[in-house]
C-alpha cells in the first residue's frame, strides 16, 4: 500500500468485519518530536493474545478466501521503515487498538494520502457504524463524530450520496491546515 490512508481503510474494514459498532481513527502530528501517530480503535470482538501476537505475520489470517493477510504487516513495515513501530492491543469481547507511529521527515515515510476520502468512504459504506475521526497537530484538534452528524441530519442517512460528498469536503476543509504540518518537518 503506497499511501497510509489505504492502511487505515484496511484496518477499519477489519474493525467493521469484527462487529464493531464504534471505530475511532486518530491521527496525531507532533512536529517538535518529529512524530506522527496513527491509531484505529474499535469495540469489536477483539482477539485472543495468541492471535494478536501473530497478526503482523503475512501468513496469519482468519480469512477463508486466501491464505495471506498483508494489511497489518504492510502497516508495520511502513512504520518501521521510518524508525517507528506498530503495536496491537486487543481484548476478546472488548475490541482492538492498532497504533503505528512514524518519524516525520524521514525519507521512507509513505504519503498520508486522502484521509478525508478514506474516512468519508468508510462512513458511507458502513452508515450504521459510528466513526470518530480526530486529527491533532501541535496542540490543535479537529474531530468529527457520526453520532453528532446523525443528530444534525435528522434522519437523512449518512449513505446518501450528497451527504457523503459533503462529508468528504467538510473533513478535508477542517483538516487541511492540520495535515499540512506533516510536511513541515
- DSSP-derived letter for residue 65 is S
pLDDT band at 69 (very low <50, low <70, confident <90, very high): low
pLDDT at 74 over 70: yes
Q: In this predicted structure, what is the pLDDT of residue 183? A: 79
Q: Name the pTM for this structure.
A: 0.92
Edge-to-edge, what's the strand order for the sheet holding 22-30?
85-91, 95-103, 35-42, 22-30, 130-137, 140-145
Q: Which residue, 112, 134, 133, 99, is CA-closest to 185?
A: 112
The answer, yes or no, to whether residue 156 has pLDDT greater than 90, is yes
Tell which phi-psi region holds residue 136, choosing left (phi > 0), alpha (psi between -120 and 50) or beta: beta
Q: Which domain holds residue 72?
A: 4-184
By C-alpha distance, which of 38, 24, 48, 42 is closest to 96?
Answer: 42
Other C-beta atoms within 10 Å of 21: how many? 13
Give me the CATH number covering residue 101: 3.30.565
CA distance 145 to 5: 18
- Using N-to-C axis directions, what is the helix angle for 4-17 and 71-80, rounded to 10°? 140
Whole-angstrom CA distances from 17 to 13, 62, 95, 151, 153 are 6, 11, 12, 25, 26
Phi/psi class of residue 113: alpha, beta or left (left: φ > 0; alpha: ψ in -120 to 50)? left
C-alpha span between 72 and 18 (Å, rounded) = 15
* CA torsion through residues 74, 52, 94, 64, sign: positive
Comparing 60 with 120, the larger pLDDT belongs to 120
Summarize pLDDT for 37-64 with one digit per residue, the tens.
999 999 999 999 888 887 877 666 655 5
Residue 63's pLDDT is 54
Number of domains present in the structure of the chain: 1
Amino acid at each position: 500500500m503506497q499511501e497510509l490512508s489505504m492502511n487505515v481503510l484496511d484496518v477499519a474494514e477489519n474493525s467493521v468485519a469484527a462487529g464493531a459498532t464504534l471505530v475511532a481513527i486518530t491521527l496525531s502530528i507532533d512536529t517538535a518530536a518529529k512524530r506522527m501517530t496513527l491509531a484505529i480503535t474499535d469495540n469489536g470482538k477483539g482477539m485472543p493474545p495468541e492471535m494478536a501476537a501473530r497478526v503482523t505475520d503475512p501468513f496469519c489470517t482468519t480469512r477463508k478466501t486466501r491464505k495471506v493477510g498483508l494489511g497489518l504487516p504492510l502497516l508495520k513495515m511502513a512504520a518501521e521503515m521510518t524508525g517507528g513501530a506498530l503495536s496491537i492491543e486487543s481484548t476478546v469481547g472488548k475490541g482492538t487498538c492498532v497504533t503505528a507511529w512514524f518519524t516525520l521527515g524521514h525519507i521512507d515515510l509513505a504519503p498520508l494520502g486522502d484521509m478525508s476520502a478514506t474516512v468519508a468512504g468508510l462512513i458511507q459504506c458502513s452508515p450504521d457504524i459510528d466513526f470518530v475521526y480526530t486529527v491533532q497537530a501541535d496542540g490543535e484538534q479537529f474531530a468529527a463524530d457520526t453520532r453528532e452528524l446523525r443528530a444534525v441530519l435528522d434522519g437523512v442517512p449518512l449513505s446518501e450520496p450528497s451527504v457523503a460528498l459533503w462529508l468528504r469536503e467538510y473533513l478535508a476543509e477542517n483538516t487541511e491546515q492540520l495535515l499540512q504540518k506533516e510536511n513541515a518537518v
